[in-house]
Chains A and B, each alone.
Chain A
Amino acid sequence: MSQSLDAYLVLASLLFCIGTFGFLARRNAIAMLMSIELMINAVNLVIVAFGAFTPELADRASVIALIVMAVAAAEATVGLAIVIAIYRNRRTPLVDEYHSMRE
C-alpha cells in the first residue's frame, strides 16, 4: 500500500474521468450504466482513501462507502430494469434513438 494519499486521489480522478467520458461518449445504454458504476466507484475510492489517511474519519468513511455501494447496487438494478423495459419497446439499446420526449 502506497503511503501517499495523492496516488489514490489521482487514480480516483482517472477512474471518474473515464466514467464521465464513457457516459458522454457511448451510445449504448448498458455501457452508460457501466460508466456510472465506474464514477460511483471512483467516488467510493476517494471516500475510503480519506478514511484510511485521516484517523478521525476512519469508521464513518467505511459506513458511507457501504451505503454508497448499496445505493449503487440499487441504482444499477433500477437502471437495468428501465433499460430492458425501453429495449423491449424500442428494440434498440442506443440512447440517441430515445428522443420521443424532445420538444
Chain B
Amino acid sequence: MTTDQLLVTLLLALPIGGFALTALVGRRLYQRAWIIAVGAIVATWLIAMYLVYNTLFLNAYGAQGLHFTLYEWIPAGDFRIEANFAVDNLTAALLIVVCTVGMLVHVYSIGYMAHDPGRWRFFAYLNLFMFSMLLLVLADNFLLLFAAWELVGLSSYLLIGFWYGRRSAALAAKKAFLVNRVGDVGFALGIMAIWTTVGTLNFPEVFERIPLLAESGVIQPWQMTGLALLLFLGAVGKSAQFPLHVWLPDAMEGPTPVSALIHAATMVNAGVYMVARANPLFVQSPSAMWLIAGVGIFTAILAASIAFTQRDIKRVLAYSTLSQLGYMFAALGVGAFTAAIFHLMTHGFFKGLLFLGSGSVIHGVHDEQDMNRMGGLWRKMPITHITMLIGAIAIAGIPPLAGFFSKDEILGQAWKNGFVWVWAIGIVVALMTAFYMFRLMGKTFYGPSNVDPAVEPRVHESPRSMTVPLLLLAIPSAVLGVALGFPIGAGLIEQWMEPVFEGANEVLGRGQAEPFQVLGLDGFLAGASVAVAVLGVLAAMRLFGFRVPLLGLQAKPRPAVVERLTDRLRPLYTGSFHKWFFDDLNDLIFVRAGGLVARGLWWFDVHIIDGAVNGVAGLTQRSGRGLRHIQTGRVQNYALGIALSLIVVAVGYFVAGGR
C-alpha cells in the first residue's frame, strides 16, 4: 500500500474512529466532548487538503486519478464487489467543500452546542456523518456509493432528530428518512439494472462500457433512459428535488450546524455529485437529460417562490437551498456538468456561511427563529452581520463574489446549449433569489427591532468559536468564484473538470469553449444576470430597509408598502406561505388515502392472516390438552394400549390381507 492509498484510508478511518471513541467515552468528557471529534476532523482536513493539492495542482495521479482496492467486500460467486476507492478531480473538488465546511462546522459547534447536555452524542453523530460523506465521494463503485448514500441518510436522520424530545423534530427526522426511502428505491433498482446490463458496478468499467453498449445496441435507448431515470430518482430524493422536496425544509428542526453542514453544503449535494459522476451514462439519454433540466429548474422557481413569504429564518435558507440545488440539476440537465460542480462548490461555502450566520443570529436572540421577532441586529452582531452580508451578496449573484460566476455559468450554458426556456426561468429565479435574500437581511439586521423586550438587552455577538468559522467561510464565499471561474469559461474549474467530463462533452458534441466575449452573447447574458440580481436587491432594500454603516447609506423599511403589495397579491401570498400546499397534498394522498388502504390491509392481516396462524396454533393446543389425559404414567395402561393396537393391526391384516 502506497503512502497516498494509506492517506485515503486514513481519511475514512479518522472520522469513524472519532465516532467510535466519542460514542464510547464522550459522555465522560463532559464539556470537552468535542475534543476527539474535532481533532479527528482537523486531521482529516489536513490529509484531504494534501490529497486535493496532489490531485488538482500537481496532477500526481494522472488524468484518471488514484484508484485502489482496500479489500474484497462481497465475494459471492460471480458477484464480486470490492471496497475500492478513487481520488480524481471530481472527488477532489468535493473533498474541498466537504472537509472545509465540515471542519468549520465542527469548530462552530463547540460554541453552539456548549450548553447542550447531549453534546457528546452530537459530536459522535457529526463524525459519523463525515465518515459517510467521505465514503460517498471516495467510493469507486455503485454499491459502495449506495452504502454511503444510506449512511449519510442515517446520520441525517439522527441529527435532524437530535432533540428527539421535541415532537416536531422527531416527526421531521422520520419524514426525511421516509421521503429519502422513496428515492432510494429508484436508486437501488438503477444499480441492479446496471449490474444486469453492464455486468459490473465499478465506476471506471461501467463508464467505459456504457457508450460501447449503447452504440452496439445491447442497451436500447429506452433502457438507457430508464436506467438514467432510476438513478435520477435517487438523486431527487437525496437532493430534495420536486416532488420529493418536502423533507428538506422540515429538516431544519435539527441544530443549525447540522442544517449548514448536511442540509446545505454537503449531503444534499450527493445527488448532484452522483449524476455528475455518472455523466457518461446520463448523456446517452437526451430525454432523461431534458427531464433532469426540467425538474431542476421547476424546483428552482417553486422553492424560490416559497422562500418569498416564509417567516422562519432557517426555512427561507432551506428553500433557497432547494432553489440552488434546482439550478445545479438544471445545469446537469443542459449538459453543463462543470458549471453544476462549480455551483455546488460555491454554494456549499456561501450557503454554509449563511446557515452558520443564521445560527449565530438565533443564538444571539435566544433561540428565536421568527424573522418578525428580529430586526436591528446589525449594530449588536457586527461580525455576523458582515459575514452574512457577504453570503447574501454571493448568493444573489452580484460580481465579483462567488455566486455570480457559477450562476452565470449555468445560465449562459443553458442558453448556448439550446435550453432557452431554462435560461428564461433561471433568470427569473435569480431575480427572486436576490429579492428574498435581502428581504431576509432587511428583516433580520436593518429593520426596526422587534426582538422580545425581555431578551433585547441580552442580545450579544456569538463567542469566538462561532465567529471565526463565519469569517473563514466568508473568504471562499467572496473569492472562490474569481479564483476558479475567472476568466469566465476558461477558469481553473474548467481545467480541473475537463478530464472528468471529456467523454460526456464529446457525446453532446461540445467543442472547446470559445473565449469570453464581453460585447457578444456572453456579455449580454452576464449583463442580464447582473441586472436582475441588482434589481432584486434594490427592490428588497427599498421594501425591507438597508444600511451601510461606513458610508452612511441607509434606506428605511416600508412596511406599509409591503402590506399593500401583499394584499394585492393575496392568493399568491397564501399559496406561497403554505408552500403551495404540497404538505397538505401529501397528507391527503399518502396519509389519508394511503391510511385507508393500510387500515384495510391491517384488518386483513389481523383477521385473515393472523386468524389462520392463531387458528392452527389453537387447534394444536386444544387437541394437546385433550390428549394429555391418556398419559396416566402407569406402565400397564400403556402396555394395554400396545396390546390392543397390536390386536387391531393383526385383525386388520387378516381381514384385509386374508382375502
Seen from chain A, the residues whose Cβ lies within 8 Å of a Cβ on chain B are 20, 23-25, 27, 32, 95-96, 98-103
Contact = CB atoms under 8 A, between A and B. Distances in A.
A23 B635 CA distance: 10
B628 to A, nearest CB: 5
A95 B629 CA distance: 19
A20 B633 contact: no
Interface in B616-654: 628-629, 631-636, 639-640, 643
Contact of A98 (B628, B635, B640, B643): B635
B643 A103 contact: no
A24 B639 contact: yes
A23 B633 contact: no
Contact of A95 (B628, B635, B640, B643): B635
Given A20-B643, A24-B640, A24-B643, A102 B631 contact: yes
A85 B175 CA distance: 72
B643 A99 contact: no
A99 B634 CA distance: 6
A18 B643 CA distance: 13
A98 B629 CA distance: 17
Interface of B: 628-629, 631-636, 639-640, 643
B632 A99 contact: yes
A103 B631 CA distance: 6
A23 B634 contact: no
A20 B631 CA distance: 21
A30 B640 CA distance: 18
A24 B641 CA distance: 10
A99 B640 contact: no
Main secondary structure of the interface of B (DSSP, over half): helix
A100 to B, nearest CB: 7
Contacts of B631: 102-103
A95 B636 contact: yes
Contacts of B634: 95-96, 98-99, 102
Nearest to A97: B634
Contacts of B633: 98-103
21 contacts: A23-B636, A23-B639, A24-B636, A24-B640, A27-B636, A32-B635, A32-B636, A95-B635, A95-B636, A96-B634, A98-B633, A98-B634, A98-B635, A99-B632, A99-B633, A100-B633, A102-B631, A102-B632, A102-B633, A102-B634, A103-B628
A98 B633 CA distance: 7
The 6 closest A-B pairs by CB, nearest first: A102-B633, A99-B633, A103-B631, A103-B628, A95-B635, A101-B633
A100 B634 CA distance: 9
B443 to A, nearest CB: 81
A41 B639 CA distance: 18
Nearest to A21: B643
Which of B628, B632, B635 counts the most chain A CB atoms within 10 A? B635
B435 to A, nearest CB: 84
Contacts of A103: 628-629, 631, 633
A6 B636 CA distance: 31
Nearest to A36: B639
A89 to B, nearest CB: 16
Contacts of B640: 24
A96 to B, nearest CB: 6
Contacts of A102: 631-634
Contact of A96 (B629, B636, B639, B643): B636
A32 B635 CA distance: 10
Contacts of A24: 636, 639-640, 643
Nearest to B633: A102
Contacts of B628: 103
A99 to B, nearest CB: 4
Contacts of B639: 23-24
A103 B629 CA distance: 8
A6 B639 CA distance: 28
A25 to B, nearest CB: 8
Nearest to B647: A20
Given A32-B636, A100-B633, 13 more contacts: A24-B640, A27-B636, A96-B636, A98-B633, A98-B634, A98-B635, A99-B633, A101-B633, A102-B631, A102-B632, A102-B634, A103-B629, A103-B631
B631 to A, nearest CB: 4
A32 B639 CA distance: 11
A85 B633 CA distance: 18
Nearest to A99: B633
B630 to A, nearest CB: 9
B650 to A, nearest CB: 12
Nearest to A25: B636
Contacts of A100: 633
